[in-house]
Amino acid sequence: MGSPKLFRLLTTCAVLVSLFSALLVAGNSSVHASGGSTSVSAGPASKVSPDLRKLIDSGHGNDRVHLIVRANSASQGLVGSLLELLGGTVKAVLSNLNIRIVECYANSADVVAADPGVAYVSLDAPVHTLGHVTETTGARQSRSWRNGLGLSDTLDGSGVTIAILDSGIDTNHKSFSSISGKIKFSKDFTDENRTDDRYGHGTHVAAIAAGAGAPTNGGYEGIAPGASLVSLRVLDSDGVGTVAGVLSALDWLISNKGTYNIRVVNMSLGTVAINSYKNDPICNAVRKLVDSGVLVVAAAGNNGKDVNGQKIYGAIHCPGNEPSAITVGASNSYGTDPRTDDSVTSYSSRGPTRSFAVDDYGLKHFDNVIKPDLVAPGNKIISAEAAGNKLVNEYPELETHKYSTNNMKLMYLSGTSMSTPMVSGAAALLLQANPKLTPNMVKMVLMYTAQPLAGYNTLDQGAGQLNIAGAVTLGKLVKTDVLLGLLGPSFGSNLLTQSAPAPETTISAFNFPWAQGLILNHTCITGKDLITKYQVSYGKGYLLGDGVVEGLTTQNLNGSMWTKPGLTLGGYLMRSDGTPLGGGSIFMSNVLLLGDGFALGDGYALGDGYALGDGYALGDGYALGDDCPLGDDGTGMQ
């Protein structure tokens, strides 16, 4: 056998030759016309995330950092050899996501990105938390239903498992321990090697989604109390995690979703959305989960206003900026069951998404996707309190004093973190009522039946406020066989088992109309065909926005993916008057969201607020706003 030194020398030479070839190819980036727009082939510069580039350019290139290296395929190309040559190490391999977590010098990023087998290199940034509801959401009036055998049953999420990516769950709390096997599995993805909840966020979130109601005689029951839970602890005892930890949990989910029948993933957490969703590793992992049939529900964030109380647009967090996820903002029900006075909270992050890609010429291309998709109650929500948690220790006023024993205590929290599990629980109810629904079908049903809140625009509330009663009414009518078969459903075929229900719901004697429309990337779409006919975008592997053909100033429907003329694209984002989607006064033209978002510039005035810049305004690309534990000033308690 040859000398190890000789072998290493030969390996190094081979790596350098391959790298030189890669750099030559990357240096010949070309610009060519494609469909009337400019397309730039990706070179090393465009494959390095903006926050990592800023770190290097600010003189910190010699800092040791953790990087997320995503490959084009399962093959990692030259990455391993390059890292050894550059003095770096591989810390973890996430095979389902084609990702390696590596430790190296920051300025090694360009060399790694030059490998043709590498798709994107980004910085491992911090991830933080973002935080009588069954009555006001309509969950309680949906509890009784007719199952597939025509028998009366309880709609409570039974048979569906929700994965909670958070700070862990206090399994001894009565919200979970009163039902045997409620929590199917727990795993830690921090370096603390524990699965309990010292921070207090995860327990609160999990109980909103699926907490048992019996211990409190139904007073503080979760949306889907019959659903099972899987706890994936990605936030530590201080409520902080890493992108690498979240990716590790998502990688685990892809491998184990079938074992635990995980149909819904709740992500009441986030990091600043700097990288375009097309490049961001968390967004890519979320898309892979959704394409496989798992619904992902993400918090919008809590940066809806600046320190002076002025409204901010464009502060949606990652992974809330991912189009395939259901992104949830926070509404305020003021502690009352009727929905006549409900509003969007001041802190709820608003769209459009301001994540972006940078091409080899240094130009930024903004996503400008309309988010959130809908809002749900999130202000001063009462839910389970983990024993001895940090949040209550720091904010004693969060304690409700309703129960004295440790495993029965309840606490208040506010934020889009609390709104998100409302929607996750609603999704579990829909999937119990109709297990054949795809993630896109669930998303469509929830948006179509949402209640538009008067006085709020599309970027404030998406389609409107969560309406579980209406969603269940519509969701259980979707044909259970329409999504079966090797060839799939027929485009334009009947979607419902009977005629469409009246597009309205009554909750606590208040009747309101449904949105009767959807949010599609940079526009809205309305029409009864959304629920009476099957659309191609409802299947797996699509975005709901697929089939909208966009130019720099125009949008049109692709007739092979959406039925025409039964559907209508909106030309404007509206300030709702409480009528179906599209009603009210014009807020802005959706043309401002097109053309890579250049028209919607930094600081652009939107009538009642301003647009954020490139993400760095939220703390130089790192810091996140925590939940708003005390809620909006002067509001009621829920």
- Look up residue 167 and give its DSSP letter: S
* 201 carries an active-site annotation: yes
Tokens of 79: 């990455």
Q: pLDDT at residue 222 above 70?
A: yes
User: Do 144 and 277 fall within a single domain?
Assistant: yes
Its domain, for residue 62, covers 33-124
pLDDT at 76: 59
Whether 502 maps to a domain, the answer reads no
Average pLDDT score over residue span 560-588: 95
* 173 carries an active-site annotation: no
User: Do 471 and 394 fall within a single domain?
Assistant: yes
Instruction: List residues bridging with 327 in a β-sheet.
Output: 298
Whether 574 maps to a domain, the answer reads no
pLDDT in tens, 357-367: 998 888 889 99
Average pLDDT score over residue span 269-283: 95
Grouping H, G, I as helix, E, B as strand and the rest as coil, residue 268 is coil
User: Do 217 and 77 fall within a single domain?
Assistant: no
Cα–Cα nearest to 326, from 461, 423, 188: 423
Q: pLDDT at residue 334 above 90?
A: no
* CATH classification of the domain holding 49: 3.30.70.80
pLDDT at 7: 34
pLDDT at 247: 97
Q: Are 446 and 427 in contact (CB under 8 A)?
A: yes
User: Do 92 and 238 fall within a single domain?
Assistant: no
pLDDT at 217: 85
Q: pLDDT at residue 80 above 60?
A: yes
pLDDT band at 77 (very low <50, low <70, confident <90, very high): low
Which of the two residues, 61 and 20, has the higher pLDDT score? 61
pLDDT at 350: 96
User: Do 270 and 203 fall within a single domain?
Assistant: yes
Catalytic residue among 51, 124, 156, 166: 166
Ramachandran class of 607: left when φ > 0, alpha when ψ lies in -120 to 50, beta otherwise: left
List CB contacts of 25: < 8 A, sequence separation 6 or more. Answer: 116
Other Cβ atoms within 10 Å of 590 Cβ, number: 21
pLDDT in tens, 117-135: 899 999 998 876 654 466 7
**Count of domains in the chain?**
2
User: Do 262 and 345 fall within a single domain?
Assistant: yes
Average pLDDT score over residue span 253-280: 96
Of 133-137, 490-494, 516-520, 530-534, the least confident? 133-137
pLDDT band at 20 (very low <50, low <70, confident <90, very high): very low
* CATH classification of the domain holding 247: 3.40.50.200
Residue in this structure with the two tokens 């006085």, named with its chain if needed: 455
pLDDT at 51: 87
pLDDT in tens, 96-108: 999 999 999 999 9
CA distance 77 to 67: 16
Whether 6 maps to a domain, the answer reads no
Tokens of 21: 């070839």
pLDDT at 233: 98
Tokens of 171: 């399994």
pLDDT in tens, 382-408: 999 999 999 999 999 999 999 988 899
List CB contacts of 421: < 8 A, sequence separation 6 or more. Answer: 164, 205, 206, 208, 209, 210, 222, 223, 266, 268, 297
Cα distances (Å, whole numbers) of residue 54 to 107, 118, 616, 621: 11, 20, 10, 9
Q: Are 514 and 448 in contact (CB under 8 A)?
A: yes
* 166 carries an active-site annotation: yes
Whether 515 maps to a domain, the answer reads no
User: Do 195 and 308 fall within a single domain?
Assistant: yes
Burial of 163 (0-12, 13-18, 19+ CB in 10 A): buried
State the virtual CA torsion across 532, 535, 537, 538 in degrees, nearest 10.
50
pLDDT at 313: 95
pLDDT band at 206 (very low <50, low <70, confident <90, very high): very high
Whether 533 maps to a domain, the answer reads no
Whether 506 maps to a domain, the answer reads no
Instruction: List residues bridging with 510 in a β-sheet.
Output: 507
Q: pLDDT at residue 95 above 70?
A: yes
Which of the two residues, 197 and 489, has the higher pLDDT score? 197
Grouping H, G, I as helix, E, B as strand and the rest as coil, residue 62 is coil
pLDDT at 474: 97
Catalytic residue among 128, 201, 365, 522: 201
User: Do 215 and 71 fall within a single domain?
Assistant: no
User: Do 203 and 69 fall within a single domain?
Assistant: no
Which of the two residues, 625 and 84, has the higher pLDDT score? 84
Catalytic residue among 49, 108, 343, 417: 417
pLDDT band at 81 (very low <50, low <70, confident <90, very high): confident
